[in-house]
Structure 1
Amino acid sequence: MSQPLISLCIPTNGVIEWVFPVLDSIYSQNVDNELFEVVVTDNGNNAEFKARFDEYQKNYENLFYFRSSGYEFLSEPDSYKNATGLFIKFINHRTKLVPGALEYFINWINENKEEKPFVYFTNGVLAKEKTFEFNSFDGFVRGLSYWSSWSTGMAFWKEDFDSIPEDTAYNFLFPHTTILFSQKNRKKYVIDDKTLLDEIPQGKIPKGRYNLFNAFGVEYMGIICDLLRNKDITPETFVCVKNANRTFLSTLYLDYIILKRKCSYDLSGYKESLRVFYSDKEIRNAAKFMFIERAIKFPFRFLRKLSSR
């Protein structure tokens, strides 16, 4: 098999209910299997998943399985190390490709493989369904806003990944940012907001067990602060990202602290975490305002949720 145009990399801990629908969505795209490969990197311990994968793999010569010793999110860079495509696209093990998505990625690669801009696929979260171009790293970071904390949009040229030293220490909670923020001197950056992925409902399967408010209130903001400290971004961009992240944290506060929505996350020490870059009071007040907004906008749905607690 010649070098594929794209490697679809799926790090997983072996959740059957998620991974196989994602694989089905890839192989139902009606794209020539010679043009792409699928790299599944597993750091779980699910024998049933592995047995089912072995059967599934028999049908596809471009589907590859690798074990990973990377703890939790650190299996992500392991998947990239095993990729051979010209271009690498991260696929969350809980996000299916919508019809036509793989063809879209392949067309994008063919159209850009000479210039090779750095790209991030925001999957409609900006509610724009447009493409944005930037000629500076600072503009790119500001355009991404707090969505740079979200690994699902990650995509890059294999040569960009290969340029990262092998002994690089990837951020434990946000390993994708080590790659995302390594490309500071590109002539062109692109944010593509077209919806290409469809998230599978979480159901009763735990989504994460990490400390939620420490992750987004301390660790992620620390990464952005390092960009400011190293003069990779302007103070204005730092403030923009920080303010947008505050809104996101307020949403988490409303859902998990005020409304006490069930989750698998560690919520301990949330007040201390929020005081590092913000104050727990400003987050709490913003969350209360969101509470009132929701109650006014969706009164019956909101009351129904409250009564079910």
Structure 2
Amino acid sequence: MQNDIDLTICIPTNGIVEWVFPVLDSIFQQDDVNLSRYEVVVTDNGNNAVFKTGIKKYEEKYFNLRYYETHEVGFLNQIACFKEAKGKFVKFLNHRMLMLPGSLQYLLDYVTEAGENRIPIYFSNGVLKQEERIQCGSFDAFIARLGVYTTWSGGLAYWNTDRILSSNSADYNALFPHFYILSMETNKTLYHIDDHELTTSLSADETKKGVYDFYYAFAVEFPSLLLQLNLEGKISLQTFLSIKDELLEWIADQFINYRILRTQTSYDLSNFPQTIHVYWGNFEFWKRVATRFCSRTLRRIFLLKKWR
């Protein structure tokens, strides 16, 4: 693919003004970055007239911003956005994540540094607490090191070659479409995880996030995607079981947030507990909830005493 644009920032959205416009500002207000080296693509599957009017003003102001209205449902809007990318390297950006100063240049420098090597890479945004770029010698090691963060599309980046995206919409999982791209290159001998912090989250109203069946998504659909990779020989049983255990811990934490602490959310929580029992036993789940609740409570007590 011949292209003079080094980088495409992809922002799929359902048209939340108070999220997307500050995110765009965080990109375009970065100093000393050549606008010709990158583009921003926004795809919108929402119906917010105020957003549609406002985004066109950005499009008039910045020649390297392209905006498209789409009819893709839910997370498949991500794929619609990726298909419009013209850059050599594509980075997904969640529509409520501000780019930190210097992060845009960091990505452009990476494209220059990588050259034609085109090593698969994931940007974990500081969650792994690693100062150096992590090198993994196999796809199995790459997925194992990412662990539960394989569920998170926000770190996705890929080299924009003709063979990376499928024209068949059935290839993309409706809840985790990014996983198709994450698991495309399974035979490489080197993978990178870059834990440099590039973005920070806006204070977001949780009730404006996507509406989907939370427990089905993370307790059934995603473990099934991992299991399929194992059955295809692309990841080991050990990696599957390790991430499955991490998922259980994360789901237990969210159960505490949504069911015990009553945190407001847009998620559909109605399919509990039957979805949990597909991959975990009843005792196993409740034991993990109890363990996490005690751990969080003790940590809170410790921090309060330390503060005093």
Task: Quickly name the TM-score band, shorter chain normalised.
Answer: over 0.9
Unpaired stretches in structure 1, ≥5 consecutive residues: 303-309
Q: Please list the CA deviations of residues 146-174 of structure 1 after superposition, one character each: whole Å capped at 9, or x if unmatched.
A: 10000000000000x64433114210000
Equivalent residue for 2:64, pick from 57, 62, 65? 62
**Contact 2:206–2:264 (CA under 8 A) maintained in structure 1:** no
CA distance in 1, matches of 2:280, 2:274: 10
Equivalent residue for 1:72, pick from 60, 74, 87? 74
2:42 maps to: 40
- Partner secondary structure for residue 61 of structure 2: coil
Q: Does 1:219 align with 2:221?
A: yes
In angstroms, what is the RMSD of aligned CA positions? 1.6
- What is the TM-score normalised by the length of structure 1? 0.93
Change (3 A) 1:85 1:251: same
User: How many residues were matched structurally?
Assistant: 300
Equivalent residue for 2:107, pick from 105, 108, 117? 105
Moved more, 56-65 or 260-269: 260-269
- Partner secondary structure for residue 208 of structure 2: coil
2:11 maps to: 10
Structure 2 counterpart of 1:21, which letter?
P
Q: Please list the CA deviations of residues 47-71 of structure 1 after superposition, one character each: whole Å capped at 9, or x if unmatched.
A: 1001111112211000000111110
Equivalent residue for 2:244, pick from 223, 242, 245? 242
Moved more, 92-101 or 291-300: 291-300
Moved more, 28-37 or 273-282: 273-282
**Contact 1:117–1:187 (CA under 8 A) maintained in structure 2:** no
CA distance in 2, matches of 1:282, 1:264: 27
Q: Does 1:264 align with 2:262?
A: no
**Contact 2:27–2:104 (CA under 8 A) maintained in structure 1:** yes
Q: Please list the CA deviations of residues 210-265 of structure 1 after superposition, one character each: whole Å capped at 9, or x if unmatched.
A: 11111000000000000011111111111111111111111111111222222111
1:306 maps to: none
**Contact 1:253–1:283 (CA under 8 A) maintained in structure 2:** no
**Contact 2:87–2:160 (CA under 8 A) maintained in structure 1:** yes
**Contact 2:144–2:239 (CA under 8 A) maintained in structure 1:** yes
2:23 maps to: 22
Unpaired stretches in structure 2, ≥5 consecutive residues: none
Q: Please list the CA deviations of residues 172-211 of structure 1 after superposition, one character each: whole Å capped at 9, or x if unmatched.
A: 0000001111111123110111111111111365212111
**Contact 1:5–1:86 (CA under 8 A) maintained in structure 2:** yes
- What is the TM-score normalised by the length of structure 2? 0.93
2:187 maps to: 185
Change (3 A) 1:222 1:84: same
Structure 2 counterpart of 1:251, which letter?
D
Q: Which residues in structure 2 correspond to 1:290-309 (within 5 Å)?
A: 290-299=292-301
Change (3 A) 1:205 1:3: farther
